[in-house]
């Protein structure tokens, strides 16, 4: 017999948009289930700068996007303030940058209603001491940084508190159609391999870069274009503010502070698929070469990690991907002959709430509900329940000293054994399988300078000691974890980092022989 779960709305995709829709619809009284094939923010929502745009970035290329960003920035600051750091931002031009762009910028900002202030170059270098002495113009704007992991977790938590449900590691396999409607979604739990069905009145495809694949299951073509952007994480925070290059969008021209680190990006590389993407050496070099023009320290500072995200763009031509509007695409598939399916894709983190609002409006219309969006006004609650148990939270902030019988297992990021146990319990509660990789997703484990060389073995030992691991499973787990971290570090290995990676290979290959088949 088929296992069938019923709900009013099924949302496919656990990024910022999907979780935003889950909350929006829940606030409007609809019952929702969200499924995610991996974990929250596994796609572009986790692979970006964490930048809340003031809109100034888009004033010259996309007036509408600029206005949207500015409006959303103010709403998000007001309603999700605990996920935002109001850093402020600079737009800086360096000697040799396009003078027409620099001259046009204030007028364009004014036209879009975006607040800005001209700053004297000398003053700017006092305010941000790492700025290059070759800076020739500076404008101050309201950019902010946002923790996208926290944002999605809180949105999902709020939806769950109103009766919504979240299924992680559950992948849509097929849809069954009847009378121009989707009637069932066939879903596979990727951990237990169990197949089950969700029957909903309406379905939302919020799968970002994977939107084309999901629509295809309903027989609808969407021509997606994938633009990979790579970002570098510095080992220390470099500036107080967001620093943007004052020029037409290009590689390596935004530096965003996020807590104790800074994130430098990005690139724009057309890729064939949104899966298995990673930063390359060439991208890293391009990013640093451009970044150091604004901030010379970026040439010599240590980078601890690199990662990539894919901008999901709906193809409209063959322009440079950054020229394609960063506005979002909302499709009611009624026009394609599927009455109860809606796709939302494209856009950017800064406008996630607006995307959720517009999508929810269509869904409500389909349900015959007249209900206004509430996310503009109702503050997103800050939940404590997920402190350690969800991705991206900085465990370091909560624990500062080692207590008796609670050894620190990750010394770079100060993660104690009890935190690991909490995380393991929470993974099990979400029907997930605790292993080094899933623990790392939910904590800072392995993200410090040692890149998991030491903490991996300590956590593995701990998991064997507590009976979480048996047989030789931990050895494969260790391999998988180290390889996953490696993808983020292999393009960044020089200077001190190469010393660390040499040591890692000495221990895990030289001594433990993990590369050998016979182990």
Partner 1 sequence: MKDKQTISCDLLIIGAGFAGMVAAARASSLGLKTVQVGNSSTLFLVSGLFDLLGVYPITSGQSLHSPATGLERLRIDNSRHPYSKTGYIKILESLNFLKFFLAAAGLDYQSNNNENYLVLTAAGTFKPSFMVPKTFIKGCGIKQGSKRLLLIDFNGLREFSAKQIANVIQDAGSDVSVLTIEIPAVSSTLNPIQLANLFEDIQFLKFLSKKISPFSKKTDLVGFPAVCGLNKSLETIGKLEEMTGLDCFEIPGMPPSLPGLRLKNAFEKQLSQNNVIFLNNSKIESHEFKNHQFILNAATQNMNTQITTKGVILASGRFPGCGLHAKRELITETVFNLPVFQPETRNKWYHLNFFNPEGHAINQAGLETDDAFRPVAQNNAPAFKTLYAVGSILAHNDWVRLKSGSGVSCVTAYSAVNDFYNSVSGRDTNV
Distance of closest approach, residue 479 Cβ to partner 1, in angstroms: 6
Distance of closest approach, residue 473 Cβ to partner 1, in angstroms: 8
**Residue 403 interacts with partner 1 (CB under 8 A): yes or no:** yes
Q: Which residues contact 99 (CB under 8 A, 6 or more apart)?
A: none
Candidates 281, 381, 397, 425: give the one binding partner 1 (CB under 8 A): 281
Nearest residue to 88 via CA among 264, 263, 242: 242
**Residue 424 interacts with partner 1 (CB under 8 A): yes or no:** no
Q: Which residues contact 297 (CB under 8 A, 6 or more apart)?
A: 130, 238
Nearer CB in complex with partner 1: 182/439: 439
SS3 503: helix
Candidates 334, 406, 421, 449: give the one binding partner 1 (CB under 8 A): 406
φ and ψ of 12, to 5 deg: -105, 115
Q: Which residues contact 510 (CB under 8 A, 6 or more apart)?
A: none
Nearer CB in complex with partner 1: 99/285: 285
Identify which range of 23-31, 308-316, 324-332, 407-415 contacts partner 1 by CB under 8 A.
407-415
Q: CB–CB of 69/350 below 8 Å?
A: yes
CA–CA separation, 167 and 39 (whole Å): 9
Q: CB–CB of 457/410 below 8 Å?
A: no
For the CA atoms of 448, 475, 511, 459, what is the dihedral angle to 10 degrees?
40
Distance of closest approach, residue 493 Cβ to partner 1, in angstroms: 6
Distance of closest approach, residue 251 Cβ to partner 1, in angstroms: 16
**Residue 401 interacts with partner 1 (CB under 8 A): yes or no:** no
Beta strand pairing call for 4-12 and 195-205: parallel
Between helix 99-112 and helix 63-79 the angle, nearest 10°, is 60
**Residue 461 interacts with partner 1 (CB under 8 A): yes or no:** yes
**Residue 432 interacts with partner 1 (CB under 8 A): yes or no:** no
Nearer CB in complex with partner 1: 171/514: 514
The binding track of 144-183 with respect to partner 1, each residue x by CB under 8 A or -, is ----------------------------------------
Restricting to residues 488-517, name those near partner 1 by CB under 8 A.
490, 493-495, 498-499, 502-503, 505-507, 509-517
Beta strand pairing call for 117-119 and 135-141: antiparallel
Candidates 2, 335, 384, 471: give the one binding partner 1 (CB under 8 A): 471
CA–CA separation, 64 and 59 (whole Å): 8
SS3 259: coil
Restricting to residues 441-460, name those near partner 1 by CB under 8 A.
454, 457-458, 460
Nearer CB in complex with partner 1: 30/238: 238
Beta strand pairing call for 4-12 and 117-119: unpaired
Cβ count within 10 A of residue 380: 21
**Residue 195 interacts with partner 1 (CB under 8 A): yes or no:** no
Distance of closest approach, residue 133 Cβ to partner 1, in angstroms: 22
**Residue 402 interacts with partner 1 (CB under 8 A): yes or no:** yes
**Residue 400 interacts with partner 1 (CB under 8 A): yes or no:** no
**Residue 476 interacts with partner 1 (CB under 8 A): yes or no:** no
**Residue 107 interacts with partner 1 (CB under 8 A): yes or no:** no
**Residue 271 interacts with partner 1 (CB under 8 A): yes or no:** no
Nearer CB in complex with partner 1: 370/516: 516
Candidates 288, 295, 310, 436: give the one binding partner 1 (CB under 8 A): 288
DSSP line for 32-89: EEEE-SSSTT-STTTSS--EE--SGGGTTT-HHHHHHHHHHHHHHHHHSGGGEE---E
* Residues lying near partner 1 in the complex (CB under 8 A): 278, 280-282, 285, 288, 402-409, 454, 457-458, 460-462, 464-465, 469-472, 474-475, 478-479, 482-483, 486-487, 490, 493-495, 498-499, 502-503, 505-507, 509-519
């Amino acid at each position: 017999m088929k296992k069938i779960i019923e709900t009013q709305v099924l949302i496919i995709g656990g990024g910022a948009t999907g979780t935003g829709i889950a909350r929006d619809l829940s606030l409007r009284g609809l019952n929702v289930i969200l499924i995610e094939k991996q974990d929250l923010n596994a796609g572009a929502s986790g692979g970006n700068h964490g930048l809340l745009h003031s809109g100034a970035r888009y004033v010259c290329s996309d007036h509408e996007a600029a206005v949207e960003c500015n409006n959303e920035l103010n709403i998000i600051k007001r309603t999700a303030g605990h996920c935002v750091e109001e850093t402020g931002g600079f737009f800086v031009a360096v000697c040799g940058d396009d003078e027409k762009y620099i001259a046009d910028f204030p007028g364009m900002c004014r036209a879009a209603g975006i607040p800005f202030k001209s700053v004297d170059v000398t003053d700017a270098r006092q305010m941000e001491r790492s700025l290059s002495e070759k800076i020739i113009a500076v404008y101050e704007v309201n950019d902010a940084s946002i923790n996208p992991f926290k944002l999605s977790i809180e949105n999902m938590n709020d939806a769950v508190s109103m009766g919504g449900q979240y299924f992680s590691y559950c992948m849509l396999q097929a849809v069954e159609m009847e009378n121009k409607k989707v009637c069932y979604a066939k879903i596979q739990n990727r951990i237990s391999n169990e197949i089950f069905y969700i029957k909903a009145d309406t379905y939302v495809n919020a799968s970002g870069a994977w939107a084309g694949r999901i629509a295809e299951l309903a027989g609808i073509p969407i021509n997606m274009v994938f633009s990979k952007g790579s970002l570098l994480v510095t080992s220390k925070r470099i500036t107080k503010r967001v620093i943007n290059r004052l020029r037409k969008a290009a590689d390596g021209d935004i530096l965003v502070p996020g807590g104790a680190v800074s994130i430098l990006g990005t690139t724009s590389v057309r890729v064939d698929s949104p899966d298995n993407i990673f930063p390359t050496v060439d991208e890293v070099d391009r990013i640093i070469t451009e970044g150091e023009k604004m901030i010379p320290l970026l040439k010599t500072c240590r980078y601890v990690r690199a990662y990539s995200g894919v901008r999901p763009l709906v193809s409209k031509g063959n322009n440079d991907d950054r020229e394609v509007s960063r506005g979002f695409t909302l499709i009611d598939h009624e026009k394609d002959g599927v009455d109860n399916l809606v796709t939302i894709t494209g856009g950017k983190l800064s406008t996630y709430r607006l995307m959720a609002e517009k999508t929810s409006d269509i869904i409500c219309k389909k349900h015959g509900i007249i209900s206004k969006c509430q996310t503009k006004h109702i503050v997103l609650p800050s939940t404590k329940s997920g402190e350690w148990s969800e991705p991206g939270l900085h465990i370091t902030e909560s624990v500062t000293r080692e207590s008796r019988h609670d050894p620190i297992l990750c010394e770079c990021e100060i993660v104690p054994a009890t935190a690991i146990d909490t995380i393991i319990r929470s993974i099990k509660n979400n029907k997930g399988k605790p292993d080094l990789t899933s623990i790392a997703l939910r904590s800072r484990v392995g993200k410090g300078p040692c890149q998991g060389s030491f903490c991996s073995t300590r956590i593995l030992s701990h998991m064997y000691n507590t009976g979480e691991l048996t047989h030789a499973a931990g050895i494969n787990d260790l391999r998988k974890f180290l390889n996953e971290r490696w993808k983020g570090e292999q393009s960044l290995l020089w200077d001190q980092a190469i010393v660390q990676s040499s040591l890692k290979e000495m221990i895990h290959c030289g001594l433990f022989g993990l590369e050998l088949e016979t182990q």
